[in-house]
């Protein structure tokens, strides 16, 4: 066997079914081994960044580790944005990066870069294979690290000569020496003292105005059911971060919606008035907290998180419970008494009635379009997004049925993420209808990945809100920069439906509200890659919005 064949056997052993990537000189031994492999599907994207985002979307949709492969040099560096995106959003990914032969490393050889060094700040760990006998154990360890604790990306650098060398499964070393294990791995799950759990219960029982603030960690730990049981037992309203959307039922009486810069008014006001904030799997990022010294300033804070480095990093906390969210919530459920908060729920209902967002069903607005998609899919589609106003509209108006249905770039905010992520999600969940909600600026970033969808018969649907501008940039320029629209105008030069048709996909252009439903239905029924271009007013805004640096109770765009 070659080293590349051992690599594929190792990937099969850890359950890999799909690899996204792009071939090149340094990984030709691996692609040669793939030629006769019948157990692992390979999806070649148009660009390596698309491959990384597709592996990311696949991981989020399936709960499995996403796998991406590239050649050395520019192939590897084209993965960097996708790796950083996965790192920021805690997505398990293994990156197979080609490298020049070991005798050429360090000599500025053709297409040589130190990809382990380049990605050091945005990976959980990196491996540089130097010994053909260490292929199997390196793959095993990479997958263990990618999924353990707080998930994230792991890079394996694969020199060409190691992949081409002769070896066999018998000579593969079984385990790493203890000295080589990842002793400095950032995340280590732990059990909190019984005393801390009892203190948490005491704080909960003393509270009259509690709020649960749930983040992406709830999804990653599979804690959605436990969160619902916990919230119902103590009658506590729940708000989520952008990454936490879907981890709590959208139609539940205790659900407040999203928190933060574009959160619901009642979620922001409830957190601002609460006397106890229970944060679960959330990291208090700036888009949630606004002005940090005004965030939940009247509240005691309990922080439940698997990553000890996040506790107290951005906001002071009164009690930390370090460990897996599902496990800790389950233990709290066992010992916390039931409680009711009638007056507090009435206060929140007042907020909802006062600031209820107006219906716009008769106009061609983003809300109208998202709600039509929601009705036609019954909230059961997977929704991936690009980044910008459309991302917020999707988060605000689609009613997600489960925690794996919303796939978006939260921490890094990567334009061009949505389409390849949608492709990866559809590969992993072919039973689901998959949409990419896009803006025209973001769609232009990676619209060429429509070719990937066409070549592999992956029927994803892209809804492009065309406002002839970089919408969120324009909104900020209007609201905070005196209306000086510097380089945010895209012009009326592109017909995205016709661009899709030029690729060979289905294309529909919508300019009136009465055309929306039929276009979406046809795109779903077409069962081929499709683009639905929706022409909207360039002055449409993502509101509410909290101005940067302001407390979250100071919102613009609400009545």
Q: Distance (Å, rounded) from C-alpha 271 to C-alpha 296? A: 6
Q: Which residues pair with 300 in a beta bridge?
A: 276
Q: Distance (Å, rounded) from C-alpha 51 to C-alpha 486? A: 32
Q: Is 111 among the catalytic positions? A: yes
Q: Is 186 among the catalytic positions? A: no
Active-site choice (9, 20, 22, 48): 48
Q: How do residues 407-455 score in pLDDT, each as one tens digit? A: 999 999 999 999 999 999 999 999 999 999 999 999 999 999 999 999 9
Closest CA to 434 of 524, 324, 516, 549: 524
Instruction: Report pLDDT for 186.
Output: 37
Q: The domain 194-355: what is its CATH number?
A: 3.40.50.1220
DSSP code, position 553: T
CB count, 10 Å around CB of 300? 18
Q: How do residues 209-237 score in pLDDT, each as one tens digit? A: 999 999 999 999 999 999 999 999 999 99
> What is the pTM assigned to this prediction?
0.94
Instruction: Report pLDDT for 255.
Output: 97
Domain range 3-177, CATH class: alpha beta
Contacts of 30 (CB under 8 A, 6+ apart): 4, 7, 8, 69, 96, 98, 158, 163
Helix (H) or strand (E) holding 421: helix 418-428
Q: How do residues 492-534 score in pLDDT, each as one tens digit? A: 999 999 999 999 999 999 999 999 999 999 999 999 999 999 9
Q: Which residues pair with 434 in a beta bridge?
A: 382
Q: How far from each other are the two terminal CA atoms of the chain, in whole angstroms?
A: 69
| Locus of tokens 């406002």 | 467
Q: Is 48 among the catalytic positions? A: yes
Q: How do residues 59-78 score in pLDDT, each as one tens digit? A: 999 999 999 999 999 999 99
Domain ranges of the chain: 3-177, 194-355, 366-535
Asked, colleague to colleague, whether 3-177 and 366-535 share their fold, the answer is: yes
CATH superfamily of 366-535: Thiamin diphosphate (ThDP)-binding fold, Pyr/PP domains (3.40.50.970)
Q: Distance (Å, rounded) from C-alpha 322 to C-alpha 303? A: 8
Q: Is 160 among the catalytic positions? A: yes
Residues in the chain: 559
Q: Distance (Å, rounded) from C-alpha 357 to C-alpha 263? A: 12
Instruction: Report pLDDT for 491.
Output: 94
Active-site choice (9, 132, 147, 160): 160
Residue 136 has pLDDT above 80, yes or no: yes
Cα Rg, the chain, nearest whole Å: 24
Instruction: Report pLDDT for 181.
Output: 42
CB count, 10 Å around CB of 58? 31
Q: Which residues pair with 21 in a beta bridge?
A: 44, 69
Residue 392 banded pLDDT, cuts 50, 70, 90: very high
Instruction: Report pLDDT for 402.
Output: 85
Instruction: Report pLDDT for 230.
Output: 98
Instruction: Report pLDDT for 358.
Output: 63
Q: Is 435 among the catalytic positions? A: no
Active-site choice (20, 88, 99, 111): 111
Tokens, residue 170: 């018998």
Helix (H) or strand (E) holding 406: strand 406-407
Active-site choice (93, 261, 415, 472): 472
Active-site choice (13, 110, 169, 198): 110
Instruction: Report pLDDT for 188.
Output: 39
Mean pLDDT to the nearest integer, 266-270? 98
Mean pLDDT to the nearest integer, 294-313? 95
Q: How do residues 458-502 score in pLDDT, each as one tens digit? A: 999 999 999 999 999 999 999 999 999 999 999 999 999 999 999
Higher pLDDT among residues 512 and 171, named by residue: 512
């Amino acid at each position: 066997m070659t080293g590349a064949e051992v690599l594929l056997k190792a990937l099969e052993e850890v359950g890999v079914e799909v690899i996204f990537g792009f071939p090149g000189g340094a990984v030709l031994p691996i692609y040669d081994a793939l030629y006769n492999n019948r157990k692992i599907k390979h999806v070649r994207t148009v660009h390596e960044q698309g491959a990384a985002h597709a592996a990311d979307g696949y991981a989020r949709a399936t709960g499995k580790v996403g796998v991406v492969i590239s050649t050395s040099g520019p192939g590897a560096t084209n993965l960097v944005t996708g790796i950083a995106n996965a790192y920021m959003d805690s997505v398990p990914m293994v990156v197979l990066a080609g490298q020049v032969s070991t005798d050429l490393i360090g000599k500025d050889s053709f297409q040589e870069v130190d990809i382990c060094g380049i990605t050091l700040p945005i990976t959980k760990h990196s491996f540089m294979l130097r010994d053909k006998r260490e292929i199997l154990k390196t793959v095993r360890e990479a997958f263990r690290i990618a999924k353990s604790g707080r998930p994230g990306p792991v890079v394996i650098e694969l020199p060409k000569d190691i992949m081409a060398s002769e070896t066999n499964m018998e000579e593969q070393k079984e385990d790493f020496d203890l000295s080589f294990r990842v002793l400095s791995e950032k995340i280590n799950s732990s059990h909190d003292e019984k005393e801390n759990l009892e203190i948490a219960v005491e704080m909960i029982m003393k509270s009259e105005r509690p709020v649960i603030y749930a983040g992406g960690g709830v999804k990653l730990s599979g804690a959605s059911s436990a969160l619902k049981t916990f919230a119902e037992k103590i009658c506590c309203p729940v708000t989520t971060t952008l990454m936490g959307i879907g981890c709590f039922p959208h139609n539940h009486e205790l659900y407040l919606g999203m928190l933060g810069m574009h959160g619901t008014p009642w979620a922001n006001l409830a957190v601002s008035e609460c006397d106890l904030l229970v944060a679960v799997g959330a990291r208090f990022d700036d888009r949630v907290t606004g002005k940090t010294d005004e965030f939940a300033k009247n509240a005691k804070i309990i922080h439940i998180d698997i990553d000890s480095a996040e506790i107290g990093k951005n906001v002071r906390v009164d009690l930390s419970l370090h460990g897996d969210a599902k496990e800790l919530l389950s233990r709290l459920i066992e010992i916390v008494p039931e409680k009711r908060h009638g007056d507090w729920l009435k206060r929140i209902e007042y907020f909802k009635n006062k600031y209820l967002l107006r219906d716009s069903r008769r106009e061609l607005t983003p809300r109208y379009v998202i709600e039509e998609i929601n009705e036609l899919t019954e909230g059961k589609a997977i929704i991936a997004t690009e980044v910008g106003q459309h991302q917020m509209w999707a988060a605000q108006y689609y009613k997600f049925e489960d925690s794996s249905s919303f796939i978006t770039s939260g921490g890094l905010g990567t334009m061009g993420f949505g389409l390849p992520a949608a492709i990866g999600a559809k590969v992993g969940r072919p039973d689901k209808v998959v949409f990419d909600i896009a803006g025209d600026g973001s769609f232009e970033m990676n619209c060429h990945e429509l070719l990937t969808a066409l070549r592999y018969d992956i029927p994803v649907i892209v809804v492009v809100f065309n406002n002839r501008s970089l919408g969120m940039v324009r909104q900020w320029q209007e609201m905070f920069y005196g209306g000086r629209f510097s380089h945010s105008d895209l012009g009326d030069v592109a017909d995205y439906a016709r661009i899709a048709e030029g690729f060979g996909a289905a294309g529909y252009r919508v300019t009136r509200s009465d055309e929306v439903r039929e276009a979406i239905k046809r795109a779903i029924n077409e069962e081929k890659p499709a683009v639905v271009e929706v022409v909207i007013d360039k002055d449409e805004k993502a509101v509410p919005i909290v101005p940067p640096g302001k407390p979250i109770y100071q919102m613009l765009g609400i009545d």
